[in-house]
Amino acid sequence: MSADLLRAPGVQPRKRLTILGSTGSVGRSTLDLVGRNAGLYEIEALTAYENVALLADQARTHRARLAVIGDPARYEALKAALAGSGVEAAAGPAALVEAASRPSDWVMAAIVGSAGLGPTLAAVTRGATVALANKECLVCAGDLVMKAVARHGATLLPVDSEHNAIFQVFDFAQPESVDRLILTASGGPFRRLSLGEMRDVTPAQAVAHPNWSMGAKISVDSATLMNKGLELIEASHLFPVPEERIEILVHPQSVVHSLVAYVDGSVLAQLGPADMRTPIAYTLAWPERMRTPCPRLDLAALTTLSFEAPDPVRFPALSLTRHALQSGGAAPTILNAANEAAVAGFLAGRIGFLDIARVVERALEQVPRHPVDTLDAVQAADQAARAAANRLIAELT
């Protein structure tokens, strides 16, 4: 480990950071690490969608230059909360893009859903180092984003624990030596339920993840295993391995975060606690490592590490995502947008848990799969899929 990350404040130039989605779980964990390493970092911009009070508190505490609230109706509240602080206030989608475009060395892209695509692309096109916690960017517009990364010389570092694990053990110097990637999944809270029992699952049950602390939408995606399907699509863009050589394996203990199998029979895995600060720290300090307050893994205390294949009948989201990836064009964009709408419908009590996959499947059948080689094309496909999904939800209500 380089001593650079352990030096006293002021000895080295401070890294300037922008955190898109600072009030979410990933954003809060990132700021926790920043606060524990005073003097190493300074905050250029923080953004949130609607949590004015927390955003203002974060901006004041970390002396951010800019704070942006995504909901324009909350601008005056943010401005009032920051009065006298010296922190600039802004609001709206254009301001989110502006925040990402400002001169920072490192950008945490943690805005949930397709709303994060525009700001993330803005950071990429100025050649920033982007810590990607928003999987929808690569799901909705993987080819577009990766071409922009190459064209503008940006650095993309995966934050999702699974992709971060693969990134740590993948031999990029010899990608031909990789036989397959293995993404692990906790299996969510319902992996032992029958289809009949899953039919009666409530939103409160679905957001109670057994291992990780996450937002409601991501927790529901974990319960349906849609998150793992989206991660499969994301992995196909991040790593030079075709879809048919990316596997998903249920690992309830969430200790082995993912694995890379090599042609000689070796399998390399990254293990760690179920704490997002570990992968965040890896991207924050990259290419170095930094100390974190995360609990240390006690291998002697682990009585069981189990693995099992996911059940495609009870978790149809996995086959839907593979089909969308194989279909290409707008299919992954449609899948993601329809899933966001269906999850929102489920959380609002309008449809049942099993209806989420049904809505996504029918939206994939109904919405044309045009090429999505521009941001406008991505947004058009996204809007068409949401409209179709909402119609389907209304039919089920």
**Per-residue pLDDT tens over the stretch 233-289:** 999 999 999 999 999 999 999 999 999 999 999 999 999 998 999 999 999 999 999
3-state SS string for the chain: CCHHHHCCCCCCCCEEEEEECCCCHHHHHHHHHHHHCCCCEEEEEEEECCCHHHHHHHHHHHCCCEEEECCHHHHHHHHHHCCCCCCEEEECHHHHHHHHHCCCCEEEECCCCHHHHHHHHHHHHCCCEEEECCCHHHHHHHHHHHHHHHHHCCEEEECCHHHHHHHHHCCCCCHHHEEEEEEEECCCCCCCCCHHHHCCCCHHHHCCCCCCCCCHHHHHHHHHCHHHHHHHHHHHHHCCCCHHHEEEEECCCCCEEEEEEECCCCEEEEECCCCCHHHHHHHHHCCCCCCCCCCCCCHHHCCCCCCECCCCCCCCHHHHHHHHHHHCCCHHHHHHHHHHHHHHHHHCCCCCCCHHHHHHHHHHHHCCCCCCCCHHHHHHHHHHHHHHHHHHHHHHC
45 lies in some domain = yes
195 lies in some domain = no
103, 131, 158: which is the final residue of a domain? 158
**Per-residue pLDDT tens over the stretch 300-351:** 998 889 999 999 999 999 999 999 999 999 999 999 999 999 999 999 999 9
268 lies in some domain = no
114, 130, 158: which is the final residue of a domain? 158
Number of domains in the chain: 2
Between 1 and 105, whose confidence is greater? Answer: 105
134, 158, 182: which is the final residue of a domain? 158
182 lies in some domain = no
Q: Give the domain extent around 362.
A: 311-397
**How high does pLDDT run on average in the chain?**
92
pTM of the model: 0.89
CATH number, domain of 361, equals: 1.10.1740.10
